[in-house]
Amino acid sequence: MEEMLREASEYIALALEALSVLTVLVGAIDALLRMAPALRVRRGSHGARRAAWLSLARWLLLGLEFMLAADIVRTVISPDWNDIGQLAAIAVIRTFLNYFLERDLDAAEEMDEKKKVEPVPAELS
């Protein structure tokens, strides 16, 4: 029974890692497609770059979550403290990456919201 759990956990972790790689790949393709029009025309490319970055950041966050889930599954089947320590270090690094990426994403979205809500000056109304 224990061996079946170990084997199933390995497959689950592998599937989560594959899903993570696929998620990042889809995000990179999405970002490239968003940037393609801006690469042809230099004017106004800042908005397109920003949109591509925000989109890629969301995909990366999702990919990091899948990788973290795979690490957690692997800790269930890790045979010794050395493996658990290595997985914990990787999980901490990914968690910090996730935190800072999410913080930057929130700040960028907040700036976008402020731009949408800015009042029209009285002389223009």
pTM comes to 0.71
- Backbone conformation region of residue 50, classed left if phi is above 0, alpha if psi is from -120 to 50, else beta: alpha
Provide the residue-wise pLDDT of the chain in tens; the chain has 125 residues. 888 888 999 999 999 999 999 999 999 999 999 888 777 776 656 777 777 888 888 898 899 889 888 888 888 777 678 878 877 888 888 888 888 888 888 888 888 777 776 655 555 54
How far apart are the two ends of the chain, measured CA to CA in Å? 74
Residue with tokens 């224990």: 2
Domain spans, the chain: 2-115
Contact 112, 89 (CB under 8 A): no
For 78, the 3-state DSSP assignment is: coil
